[in-house]
Amino acid sequence: MPELPEVQTVVSDLNEKIIGDTITDFSSAWPKAIKGKTLTVFKKEIVGRKILGVRRLGKNIFVDLSGGKTLYLHLKMTGHLLIKSQIKDEFRPEHSGSNFDSNSNLEFKKLEIDSKFKIKNSKLKSHDYFADQVNQYIRHRFFLRTDTKLRNIDESTNKKSKSVKNFVDSNTFVGSNRYDKVMEFSDMRKFAKIVLGDTQDIANLPEIKSLGIDAMDPRLDFKKFDALLTEKKKMAIGIWLMDQHLLAGIGNIYRSEILFAAGVLPERKNESLTPVERKKIWQAMRSILKKAIRMRGTTDSDYRDTSGAPGGFQNVLQVYGKTGEKCQKCATIVARSKMGQRSVFYCPGCQK
Ligand SMILES: [Zn+2]
């Protein structure tokens, strides 16, 4: 399941790619994912709204829309969002313009677009991530129209505005529900959730209201973290880190990595943790989540970013998924056990 770093990567991508866009149409092949509304009502209420911003709390995504509405998305096990624009059209000679006649200029143009959309490993012969099997389970489509006026105002001091404007100008729109971008919701297991409501009502949903403080919330300093640990002194640290009602954002990948980095066994009760160990856990939590965000998350199965590309943190995992392998620090064999119905991985040599 996507955890805080993966969801943050998606939120950052969306803020870069779809802010200011208007939703012009919506289609769904799995309307059961839409909670509390029929597909017809959902579509009627969402079409015509502008995307104002995208936020996150724990593993939950909130897309704030015009008219005081918020679209709440939970990716659950296998959900991920893909933003597709008519990028390929730009490479057609008629859209390239006289400045992009030669192959070398075409290559330059593509690289420029790639950097705009932060697609990693972008070479002309780069992998077409959208074609990967994991990205083929499209259950819902949000059709988006770029607001050229807003884009040009917002980005007037930014060199990106020229390419955005050229991109929009190069497309011809027909009809009232014209679009130049699609946000596709791929979800193999069909557990993902879509809720549309008034912003305040979404915040008051039981599953949102009951969430603990976000693990990356700036207000969560060590003092606050320590106080929260003390409130649940009989709880095992491996359970506590993953309990969304106490601390939001961490799942079984990052709890294993955090506790390994802190040198603490997952079954240790909070009350048994020394002040030094508590400090180490807090520091490991922040540094690992930050690093994982920087590396665009962990892909151990289905998670993909909005370009369809996998994250990078799976390449630096220390214990998660490493059962039977030698610990990279002390060569002890990495062990696995069940905790909170999920696997937890640890090194019996490094962790006390
Ligand atoms: Zn070890």
Range in 14-23, 98-107, 190-199, 316-325 the model is least confident about: 98-107
CA of 345 to the centre of ligand 1 (A): 11
27 inside domain? yes
Give the per-residue pLDDT at 161.
Answer: 42
pLDDT at 95 > cutoff 50: no
pLDDT tens column, 225-252: 999 999 999 999 999 999 999 999 999 9
Q: Check whether residue 198 and residue 220 sit in a common domain.
A: no
Per-residue pLDDT averaged across 287-294, rounded?
98
CA of 267 to the centre of ligand 1 (A): 17
Q: Check whether residue 16 and residue 163 sit in a common domain.
A: yes
351 inside domain? no
> What is the CATH number for 314?
1.10.8.50
Q: Check whether residue 204 and residue 120 sit in a common domain.
A: yes
CA of 209 to the centre of ligand 1 (A): 39
103 inside domain? yes
CA of 336 to the centre of ligand 1 (A): 13
CA of 333 to the centre of ligand 1 (A): 8
Name residue, tokens 């724990």: 58
CA of 263 to the centre of ligand 1 (A): 9
Q: Check whether residue 143 and residue 173 sit in a common domain.
A: yes
Q: Residue-wise over 201-215: b if at least 16 C-beta within 10 A, else e? A: bbeebeebeebbbbb
Give the percent of the chain with pLDDT over 90.
77
CA of 33 to the centre of ligand 1 (A): 43
Q: Check whether residue 120 and residue 189 sit in a common domain.
A: yes
Q: Check whether residue 232 and residue 257 sit in a common domain.
A: yes
Q: Which of 37, 54, 55 is nearest to 46 (CA)?
A: 37
pLDDT tens column, 156-211: 444 444 444 434 433 334 344 689 999 999 999 999 999 999 999 999 999 999 99
pLDDT tens column, 98-145: 333 333 333 333 433 444 444 444 444 578 999 999 999 999 999 999
CA of 238 to the centre of ligand 1 (A): 17
Structural domain containing residue 51: 4-209
Per-residue pLDDT averaged across 206-226, rounded?
98
352 inside domain? no
Q: Check whether residue 334 and residue 242 sit in a common domain.
A: yes
CA of 350 to the centre of ligand 1 (A): 4
- Give Cα 336 distance to the centre of its chain: 27
Give the per-residue pLDDT at 301.
Answer: 87
CA of 3 to the centre of ligand 1 (A): 25
Q: Check whether residue 220 and residue 261 sit in a common domain.
A: yes
pLDDT at 26 > cutoff 60: yes
- Alpha-carbon gap, residue 342 to 336, rounded angstroms: 10
| Vertex 19 angle, CA 17 and 22, to 5° | 110
Q: Check whether residue 228 and residue 269 sit in a common domain.
A: yes
Q: Check whether residue 11 and residue 142 sit in a common domain.
A: yes
Query: Which of helix, strand or coil describes residue 181?
Result: strand
308 inside domain? yes
Structure tokens at 242: 């993953």
Structure tokens at 68: 């005081």
CA of 253 to the centre of ligand 1 (A): 17
CA of 334 to the centre of ligand 1 (A): 7
CA of 297 to the centre of ligand 1 (A): 23
CA of 326 to the centre of ligand 1 (A): 8
Residue 298 and residue 253 in contact, taking contact as beta carbons nearer than 8 Å: yes
Residue 304 and residue 310 in contact, taking contact as beta carbons nearer than 8 Å: yes
Q: Check whether residue 197 and residue 58 sit in a common domain.
A: yes
How many structural domains comprise the chain? 2
CA of 322 to the centre of ligand 1 (A): 12
CA of 324 to the centre of ligand 1 (A): 12
CA of 344 to the centre of ligand 1 (A): 15
pLDDT tens column, 241-280: 999 999 999 999 999 999 999 999 999 999 999 999 999 9
CA of 259 to the centre of ligand 1 (A): 12
Q: Check whether residue 231 and residue 327 sit in a common domain.
A: yes
pLDDT tens column, 35-70: 999 999 999 999 999 999 999 999 999 999 999 999
